Amino acid sequence: LEEAAFQLQQIFRIDISIALNILGIESMRAGHCRVAFTCFKLAADRGYSKAQFNVGLCYEHGRGTEKDLEKAGFYYCQAASSCHPMAQYRYARYLLQHGPGSHWDRHHKAVTLLEQAAMAGITEAQAYLGVFYMRGLQPQEKRGLKYLLLAANSGDAQSRYHVGVCYEQGLGVQQNLAEALRHYRQSAAAGNRQARERLRA
């Protein structure tokens, strides 16, 4: 009986959190940022990862509350620890740019989170990792190209442009100008200015 009561309590807790988060989203859409933030915060403090992510966004962009990157990082971390892919991406970016602790620890943790988010299909994480591996102190071109292709195939025109650069310059792949042109054309067709300039050149 105790176990059944505990299960009911958990379901009730989750349902309230989901409802509060939905109310927060609707309030944000209606332009009621303070109300939205309050709803997100109530759900986040009950442990609901989607709401924790939304609170992070509010703190990062100063919507419904004061802008506070440290608090944004805290809530992204909470959501990321529950495997929320977009929170993993945002928290990784926070760690690389503002996070506490040693550079090496932050760097290592951020890359792990970015890879988890990328494998969960977050295009922004795939694109970020692609460029990150291409431009690092010790470039890993094949690895970078793998992530750029994932992002490009998800519709990211900037990553498609970078794939073209890889084929043009032979980075992580054998040089192939025809393939570079194909990627530049696709990127330009999607509105990428750099790709259009590269085609003219």
CATH architecture, domain defined by 1-120: Alpha Horseshoe (1.25)
pLDDT of residue 176: 94
Residue-wise pLDDT for 30-82, tens only, equals 999 999 999 999 999 999 999 999 999 999 999 999 999 999 999 999 999 99
End-to-end CA distance of the chain: 74
pLDDT of residue 15: 82
Q: Within a 10 A sphere around the Cβ of 107, how many other Cβ atoms?
A: 16
Q: Please give the class, per CATH, of domain 121-200.
A: mainly alpha
* Both structure tokens of 65: 């509350």
What are the residue ranges of CATH 1.25.40.10 in the chain? 1-120, 121-200
pLDDT of residue 6: 63
* Both structure tokens of 61: 């962009």
pLDDT of residue 12: 58
Give the Cα separation of 163 and 145 in Å (integer): 7
pTM for the predicted model, two decimal places: 0.82
Residue-wise pLDDT for 68-92, tens only, equals 999 999 999 999 999 999 999 999 9
Sole residue written with tokens 């944000």: 28
Residue-wise pLDDT for 142-170, tens only, equals 999 999 999 999 999 999 999 999 999 99
Give the Cα separation of 187 and 195 in Å (integer): 6
